[in-house]
Amino acid sequence: MSTPTTTESQTLWFIDTVARVLVDGEETNGNYSVVDSVGPRGNMPPLHVHRREDEVFHVVEGQLTVFLPGEQVELNAGDTLRAPCGVPHTYRVESDTCRWLVFCQPAGFEEFVRAVSEPASSSELPPANRPHDLDAIAAAAAAAGIELLGPPGALPV
C-alpha cells in the first residue's frame, strides 16, 4: 500500500493568474500533476500546443471558453474538457474571475508554471498590466515542450 502525500502549495503569480501546484509530478513518479488557477476576465494565454502531455481543464468557479481547432467550448462550474497532446488550443476567462484546475498527464506542466512565476504576496490576482519577460516565458515554454503558436487572442484554425 502506498502512503498518501501532500504537496506544500505555494501561491504563485503565474503570468496574469494566481496558481498553486496541488500535486507535483515528483509525488506521482511523473505520471500527472494538478495546478489550481484563478484568472481575471479576459485572461487568455497565447495560442499553444503541448507536445508532451494531455491537459484537462476542470472549472471550479466561473466561466472559461476553451478554443480548439474548429470549435470553442464554454465551460461553467463543474464542467471538464480535455485538450489532447499535440492539439493547438487556448482559453479565455469569461466571468469576472474564474477558478479552474489543470490536470496534466504526464507531469511537467507544473515545472513550467514554477519557472515563469514569482511568489505571490497574497492570494489576490497580480496587478494588472505588470511587465512580463516574454523571451523568458517562451524559453521556459519550449523547455517544457509547449510550443507557442501565436499571440494572446490568436485562435486555432
Quick one: fold of 12-120+130-152? Jelly Rolls (2.60.120)
Please state, in angstroms and as integers, the Cα–Cα distance from residue 15 to each residue in 2, 18, 28, 37, 70, following that order: 35, 8, 26, 11, 27
Cα separation of 100 and 114, whole Å? 17
Model confidence band, residue 3 (pLDDT cutoffs 50, 70, 90): low
Model confidence band, residue 30 (pLDDT cutoffs 50, 70, 90): very high
- Exposed, middle or buried: residue 77 (CB in 10 Å: 0-12, 13-18, 19+)? middle
Per-residue pLDDT of 87-136, as tens digits, reads: 999 999 999 999 999 999 999 999 999 999 999 988 999 998 889 898 99
4 Cβ neighbours under 8 A, 6+ residues apart: none
Where are the domains positioned within the chain?
12-120+130-152
pLDDT at 1: 44
Pairing label, strands 117-119, 12-14: antiparallel
